[in-house]
Amino acid sequence: MKTPDGTAYDWTGSSPQQPVVVLVHGLGLNRASWAPQSPGFAGFARLRYDLPGHGESAALDGRATLPGLSAQLAGLLDHLKIGCAVVIGFSLGGMIARHFAQSHPHRTQGLVVINSAHARSARAQANILLRLAEAQKSGPAATVELALSRWFTPGFYARNPEIVDAIRQTILATDPDQYCRLYRVLAEDMAQIIAPVPPISCPALVMAAELDYGQSPDMARAMAAEIAGAEVSIAQGLNHMSPTESPAAINTPLAVFLRRFR
């Protein structure tokens, strides 16, 4: 299904009374990347959608921005006549979810941020800007192999080439121009969601993976410290793609958090 402005989405719900979860994927991925989490949403209506220029969604004209990506989500909720939802975002999707919670507090019933960056060190910021420049020059192919080697633990990477390759092909199928537009948000727009005023006030769960140095546990704790009452969950022995590598490590704490909204 698509909205009039071209946002592709899947909607699963059986009753207007069901609480809603909205799932926001990461850079180079698409709404199908949430499949490992789907069993954990029993009792909820589920909304998955593709970011601009990703999956089946229309391409974006002009610079991608966090406000613009938040507006895409707000427009999708308007289209489906959804007043509020629990917003769950992975990586870049976590940045969008945080911005949406800041910009639309009355529409954000709860917030879950999974493996998403917070304030970076000067060195980390320089590194991501270097990777952005490489992607702008040569497209996703310039960075995908390094990314995949960092996103999975070595053992999983070696034992599951078909899963790794499926993600590789998804990233490589993303339009290079659109990929870079959203990569720039990931690299350059972090300041917009650090220590917002007023602060995010909805119930929140911030998740990180122990071995994910780009979106580290320390970042997760710092992020949670800016949200009153936020919970933190660290997936031990896992890396950035923990939702794919070990769904239970994400689904178990996520299910506990979501119980309050049923």
Per-residue model confidence (pLDDT) at position 16? 67
What token pair was written down for 83? 């007043």
Residue 103: burial class (beta carbons within 10 Å; 0-12, 13-18, 19+): middle
User: Do 109 and 204 contact (CB within 8 A), yes or no?
Assistant: no
User: Do 64 and 184 contact (CB within 8 A), yes or no?
Assistant: yes
User: Do 109 and 86 contact (CB within 8 A), yes or no?
Assistant: yes
- CATH for 9-120+190-261 is 3.40.50.1820
Q: How confident is residue 17, by pLDDT bands cut at 50, 70 and 90?
A: confident
Distance of alpha carbon 221 from alpha carbon 157, whole angstroms: 27
Inform me whether the pLDDT recorded for 186 exceeds 90.
Answer: yes
pTM, entire model: 0.97
Per-residue model confidence (pLDDT) at position 15? 67
Per-residue model confidence (pLDDT) at position 109? 98
pLDDT in tens, 56-111: 999 999 999 999 999 999 999 999 999 999 999 999 999 999 999 999 999 999 99
pLDDT in tens, 194-239: 999 999 999 999 999 999 999 999 999 999 999 999 999 999 999 9
Tell me: cis bond preceding 198? Omega within 30 of 0 counts.
Answer: yes
Q: How many CA atoms lie within 13 A of 218 on its CB side?
A: 5
Distance of alpha carbon 208 from alpha carbon 221, whole angstroms: 9
Alpha-carbon Rg for the chain, nearest whole angstrom, is: 17
Strands 108-114, 45-49: pairing is unpaired
